Every structure is written in structure tokens, then in C-alpha cells.
Amino acid sequence: QILLSFEQDGPPRSFGTAFEVCNMGKSSLKLDLKVISEVEIFLDLLRSADVFVTNVRVDALKRLGLDYLRIAKAYPNLIYAHITAFGRTGPEMLEPGYDIGAFWANTGIAASIQSSDRAHLYPSAFGDITTASVLFFGIIAALTDRISTGQGRLVDASLLRSGLWCLSPVLCTTDPDDRECVPAVMPSQEDPTNR
């Protein structure tokens, strides 16, 4: 497994324990995909790859020549896995996003668990990990499909869609007019005198 890192301006920084744990045992290769000779190295790696995973926004991938249509044409059996904040289509497709914004705030999860008596605390990277799991299962399904078809495919996951999926039981039982959850499916809102 190769982990590609991209050169950034500024002083080197520590990635922290979470990054180190998630990337333990992986090889890394630093490539500047704006340099033709380094793009050739990258494309050579794709020739023997089963899966290409990226979190780069659609417009930047097009500028680099690494958009799905070009890669699928050159490597028809490659699984192209793309994780985004807001999805590959729609009005926010080109917007940057992250866990707390796209997963928690834009979906309404943050509002659904708020408390008036304490500060809002959201588990770190919860949306990132949930969305990565969704992408992983999509990759497994695509690899399984490739066994019989020989064809790669696009696998797409977004923080926003993963958050909406996690919130779906609440969304399906909420009255949009009064914003109240149906008490029958919210045991925490039971009347304590009705026991």
C-alpha cells in the first residue's frame, strides 16, 4: 500500500497520534503532481493498483488530469474511490469541508444532540471514520463485482450523505412543521411518570 503525500508550503508539522495510528505500516511516497515526471511515477503506480482512493475535490482532480473519466479510460479495471465533503454533484460539490461542518452541522446531527446545560462536545473524527467505513464497504462491493465483470467503477462517499444516513431514523420520524421528534421512537423523551 502506498500513501501519497503532497508537498505543502511552510514548516514541517507533526501529524499527531491519530494520523500516525491510522497510517502505521504504510509506505509513503511524496510526489508533486504538477511535475510531469512525478505524474508519470504516479500513473505507473496506478497500473498495478486495485484501488485509487482520493479526497481531493473534483475541480482539482480535473486540473491534475486525475478525474474519474480520464482515469477510468486509462485503467478500466481500477476501482476509483472518492471521498468528499458534500458529494461529487450538487451546489456544494466544489466546497471544502470537514467532519464538524459537513457531517455534524450541515446534516443537523449537531442540533439533534445539543444540550442547554453543557457545551457541545462532538467526538473527534466521528464523521470521518463513519464516511471512511461507508467508502470501504463500497470498495469491497466494487472489488467483488470486478471479479465477475473485470471492470472497475467509481465508488463515492461524502461526509454529508453519511451524516444524513446516520440521522435517517430521526429524519423519518420528525414532523417538519414543529421540529419535534415522535416520542414513540425517542425513549429518552418518555414521560417518567408513565412507568
**CB of 97 closer than 8 Å to CB of 159:** yes
Distance from C-alpha of 98 to C-alpha of 163, rounded to nearest angstrom? 12
Does the active-site annotation cover 99? Answer: no
Quick one: which of 139, 40, 123 has its CA closest to 83?
139
**CB of 81 closer than 8 Å to CB of 52:** yes
Choosing from 128, 156, 178, 191, the catalytic residue is 128
Name 1's Cβ contacts closer than 8 Å, sequence gap at least 6. 26, 27
Catalytic positions are 128
